[in-house]
Structure 1
Amino acid sequence: MTEPEVEVAEEAARRVPLSRDRVLRRAVGLADEAGIEAVSMRRLAQELGVVPMALYKHVAGKDELLDGMVDVVIGEFAPPDPGQDWQAALRQRLLSARAVVVRHRWARQAIESRRKRSLAVLGYMDAVAGTFLGGGFSADLTHHVMHALGNRIWGFSPELFDETGDPGAAPPPPEARAAMARELGERFPSILAIATATAGDDLSGVGGGCDEQFEYEFALDVLLDGFERLRRDGWSSRDRDQQGDR
């Protein structure tokens, strides 16, 4: 599009009546483009071509805006194909959630910061729990496996190491990373052993980060297999309590 055509399109977009859905979706787009830190009521009003007070007819403030943005993201999670067993259905549901969270890089931070359980949040949690119950899990076991999954139901895992670093900083050259790895290896040989497990003797790759998608799927499959064993064995928290009394 030419510059005049872009200006015409932007002006036409500004004339579209404001609605809660439009406010939330523009906020999601702004977070995608500039990061969650860039999202403010004032900046969002500028993006929509309205005065900030106009937004308060649709969202009560920044907290409600973030709650709504999380709801938009959850709305993009795809349900599993019908007819699958519980394990395949849950795996597909959670991998869909992960794909959405990877697409919206800010979403993890927003989800973790929310304390209010909206209808969208409760509906998604209910669907995950319902997959277990529909697969033959007791309510007791479902309660505990939901705790075990934790934030994995939203598509991300608790990380063992924070390897994000400064996004604006240039990574050290391979020779420097190898030298640091050798030095650390003298003091922490077990950590070096697991850090180089996939790189062999090439120390230049240490500190380069892990394959997050692989690690997420690996942990998910380990958990799902363990959950299935507990289901087959008829596990109950009452049995655990009785064993503790002996």
Structure 2
Amino acid sequence: MVEKTSSGKLERLPLSRERILQTALRLADEGGLESLSMRKLAKALGVKAMSLYNHITNRDDLIDGIVDSVVSEIEVPNPGADWKMAMRQRAISAHEVLLRHPWATMPLVSRINVGPAMLRYVDSTLGCLKEAGFSFEMADHVWNAIDSHIYGFTLQELNFPIEASDYSDVAADYLSQIPSDRYPYMNQLTHQVIQGDYDGLHNFEFGLDLILDGLDRLPK
């Protein structure tokens, strides 16, 4: 890759791990992990594929690196902060970041991620909960319960087959398969969606607050 200097001359930028990860992150956001290859990455950087291996061990190392880049965008809680408010903001931030990077949730939940951003993210979370009076065991349960909601809700939102604007029309299309004599409660709910009395949209923060309120009542 070349760039113009202040004098107007073209200058080749040196290849670095940071540049590679930034470009890989952009390609993953554009086409998902399945479209991210070393050959395609090298082409985007204007280099030969073999030169990438001076900075990246292999594709797994590349994926770990861009996952950690995504995690670095998430707001982390401060030890000593109000734990409930901090965990709520942390969860909302994580959900928003993962929606910006639709490919990232699966490698977060299916790989061992030990990059510096992930370690800071987890350590800050544990620190906030421990300083609030939770034992290490309870702190571990708390942040994992919250993260299960974050990842599960995010995956469902990203993969749900119906657009929110189409809920009412789709509900009307399926009404004949939900007869009131066999499925009375689903039938009534479907009618509410069709009539516009209820939009059928699920709210991330509703479930999050249920979890946080429940955790608040647990012994620390």
What TM-score results when the alignment is normalised by the length of structure 2?
A: 0.79
Does structure 1 retain, via aligned residues, the 8 Å contact 2:76–2:125? no
The answer to whether the aligner puts 1:110 opposite 2:101 as a matched pair is no
What residue in structure 2 maps to residue 164 of structure 1? 160
Query: Helix, strand or coil: the match of 2:106?
Result: helix
Provide the rounded CA distance (Å) in 2 between the counterparts of 1:92 and 1:109: 22
What residue in structure 1 maps to residue 61 of structure 2? 64
| Alpha-carbon distance, 1:161 to partner | 9.2
123, 126, 135: which one pairs with 1:126? 123
Does structure 2 retain, via aligned residues, the 8 Å contact 1:163–1:209? no
What residue in structure 1 maps to residue 47 of structure 2? 50
| Alpha-carbon distance, 1:204 to partner | 8.8
Residues 132-143 of structure 1 mapped to structure 2, 5 A cutoff: 132-143=129-140
Query: Which letter maps to 1:164?
Result: F
What residue in structure 1 maps to residue 7 of structure 2? none
Provide the rounded CA distance (Å) in 1 between the counterparts of 2:37 and 2:25: 12
Provide the rounded CA distance (Å) in 1 between the counterparts of 2:112 and 2:29: 22
Q: 1:24 to 1:160 in 2, by over 3 A?
A: closer
Provide the rounded CA distance (Å) in 1 between the counterparts of 2:60 and 2:136: 33
Q: 1:64 to 1:15 in 2, by over 3 A?
A: same
Q: 1:57 to 1:63 in 2, by over 3 A?
A: same
Report sequence identity in percent: 37
Deviations 1:21-51 (A, max 9, x none): 1111111111112222211111101100111
The answer to whether the aligner puts 1:178 opposite 2:176 as a matched pair is no
Provide the rounded CA distance (Å) in 2 between the counterparts of 1:135 and 1:26: 40
Give structure 1 stretches of 5+ with no counterpart.
Answer: 1-9, 236-246
Does structure 2 retain, via aligned residues, the 8 Å contact 1:27–1:69? yes
Provide the rounded CA distance (Å) in 1 between the counterparts of 2:217 and 2:146: 15
**Cα-Cα RMSD:** 3.3
Q: 1:112 to 1:79 in 2, by over 3 A?
A: closer
| Alpha-carbon distance, 1:201 to partner | 5.3
Provide the rounded CA distance (Å) in 1 between the counterparts of 2:91 and 2:56: 29
Deviations 1:47-95 (A, max 9, x none): 0011111111111111111100100001111234787411111111221
Does structure 2 retain, via aligned residues, the 8 Å contact 1:181–1:192? yes
| Alpha-carbon distance, 1:184 to partner | 2.6
Query: What is the count of residue pairs matched by the alignment?
Result: 210
The answer to whether the aligner puts 1:12 opposite 2:3 as a matched pair is yes
